[in-house]
Structure 1
Amino acid sequence: MPPYSEDGEPPFLREWIEADESLHVLAYSCISMLAASHHLYLKTFEKLLHFHLDDSLKPKFKKSWLSGYRAYFAHHLGIRFEDCPANLEVLEEVVLARNRVQHPESIAGHRTPYSSSDLGKLAYPFFVNERERDLLADVDEAESAWFMPPTIHVSAEKLATAIEQVEKFGDWLENEIDSRVYGQ
């Protein structure tokens, strides 16, 4: 559209919107792959360690696979995820964001919002842009019902932080397993 157009829209708005939407799709794909990789990492240890997933642990997996593996490693090896130097809240939110992105509640729109139950679990959602974070800061605890919940916004910086936390967790877990299983 030429810059002298009289339609009122800024030049290249349509192209900017398309590029922005493409970045969100890419970011959602990245967070989904990160969660899947983390899940496969833990499943691989389950197979390598040959510890049976007994029925008492299965309810923990219904909550989330991360809470299931938290119970699994505590039960079989005495490894407490709470002792990990990684930010477990970010790891939990990676799983939550993946689930929201892969299983949206609506076909309308390209952005995936947090659900009300998600916001009940999260004191301060990690994958929120600064504008929405400022809006969250202004909300009282009594105003827990959201007219429009914030969207999941995976920026390059937040994705890098999430990857860093998953790597930190992996390094820690491998050291814990080595010391408990192999005595190293």
Structure 2
Amino acid sequence: MEVNEFLKLRTAFIRRHYETATGPFREVIRKIEAEEDPYEPPYSEDAEPAFLEEWMEAKTSLEVVGATCVSMLSEALKLYFKTWERELDIECQIALKTEFKKGFVNGYKSCFGHLLKTDWSDCPADWDVIEQIALARNDAQHAKQIHDIGLEHSPTIREKYPMPFFLSDVEKRMIEMDQTLDPHWFGLSLVVTAETLDEATRQVETLAAWMEKPLFDVKYGRR
């Protein structure tokens, strides 16, 4: 089985799904900002911009779709690992229970690292991004506030990742200006943009492509 080819079918679907699902919300935002029908602002002396509620709802919808796609990407990566685990007749989660308690990415990284006899230093994929895909999936599935549909990172995210990958530009600038900002007090939004989703997907594809041949070699006793 060419596991990587099946993974690429999933990642291609995720890219298409994001583009299609976000289209209506991006169009609402564009029309509001361009003041196009039906969002032509009426005369008002109110300082609040017209259609602010509609703009905010469309923006939140973009973020929810992005988080959904990251969750799908995380599951695609897990399926890639689990499929090779089955193909090689190994049981990573049983052999490395302690490692898996730190997350499935950490567990499979250790398991396949032992199997392929690699410390991953020659792997072109960015493990920091890959690990944050799984973390983002977990945070997206566990909302923090009932009154806010927006998504947030776990308060501990910056203990390992001082500049989280899935973050709004505004919050990135805040952290750049003040590295001491404590997310336990103000929270960090989990924001998946088209650009960060594309890069995260590329990193998953890069990892799988790099692993595929060595894993085939192990399966057929060529190493």
Structure 1 14/59 Cα, relative in aligned 2: closer, same or farther at 3 Å? Answer: same
- The answer for the alignment partner of 1:36 in structure 2 is 75
CA drift of 1:130 comes to 1.5
Q: Distance in 1 between matches of 2:206 and 2:145?
A: 34
- The answer for the alignment partner of 1:47 in structure 2 is 86
- Aligned partner of residue 164 in structure 1, secondary structure: helix
CA drift of 1:121 comes to 1.3
- The answer for the alignment partner of 1:102 in structure 2 is 141
CA drift of 1:107 comes to 2.3
One-letter amino acid of the counterpart of residue 209, structure 2:
D
Q: 1:159 aligns with which of 158, 177, 197?
A: 197
Structure 1 101/163 Cα, relative in aligned 2: closer, same or farther at 3 Å? Answer: same
* Deviations 1:159-182 (CA, angstroms, capped at 9, x unpaired): 000000000011011022123333
Q: Distance in 2 between matches of 1:50 and 1:62?
A: 21
For structure 1, which segment, 174-183 or 160-169, has the greater mean C-alpha deviation from structure 2 after superposition? 174-183
CA drift of 1:13 comes to 1.9
CA drift of 1:51 comes to 1.3
CA drift of 1:45 comes to 0.6
Verify the 8 A CA contact 1:66 1:92 in the aligned structure 2.
yes
Verify the 8 A CA contact 2:155 2:188 in the aligned structure 1.
no
Q: Distance in 1 between matches of 2:64 and 2:58?
A: 10
- The answer for the alignment partner of 2:108 in structure 1 is 69
- The answer for the alignment partner of 1:179 in structure 2 is 217
- The answer for the alignment partner of 2:62 in structure 1 is 23
Q: Distance in 1 between matches of 2:157 and 2:93?
A: 28
Q: Percent identity?
A: 37
CA drift of 1:102 comes to 0.7
Structure 1 runs, 4 residues or longer, greater than 6 Å off: none
Q: Distance in 1 between matches of 2:91 and 2:166?
A: 35
- The answer for the alignment partner of 2:29 in structure 1 is none
Q: Distance in 1 between matches of 2:143 and 2:107?
A: 23
- Spell out the pairing of 1:74-89 with structure 2 (5 A cutoff): 74-89=113-128
Verify the 8 A CA contact 2:92 2:107 in the aligned structure 1.
no
User: Which runs of no fewer than 5 residues in structure 2 stay unpaired?
Assistant: 1-38
Verify the 8 A CA contact 1:51 1:76 in the aligned structure 2.
no
CA drift of 1:99 comes to 0.6
Q: Distance in 2 between matches of 1:53 and 1:59?
A: 11
* TM-score, scaled to structure 2: 0.74
CA drift of 1:127 comes to 0.8
- Aligned partner of residue 83 in structure 1, secondary structure: coil
CA-atom RMSD in angstroms: 2.1
User: Which runs of no fewer than 5 residues in structure 1 stay unpaired?
Assistant: none
CA drift of 1:124 comes to 1.6
Verify the 8 A CA contact 1:91 1:162 in the aligned structure 2.
yes
Q: Distance in 2 between matches of 1:134 and 1:116?
A: 18
Structure 1 104/20 Cα, relative in aligned 2: closer, same or farther at 3 Å? Answer: same
One-letter amino acid of the counterpart of residue 199, structure 2:
T
Kindly tell me the number of residue pairs found equivalent between the two proteins: 183
CA drift of 1:17 comes to 1.6
- Aligned partner of residue 157 in structure 1, secondary structure: helix
Q: Distance in 1 between matches of 2:175 and 2:184?
A: 10
* TM-score, scaled to structure 1: 0.89
- The answer for the alignment partner of 1:4 in structure 2 is 43
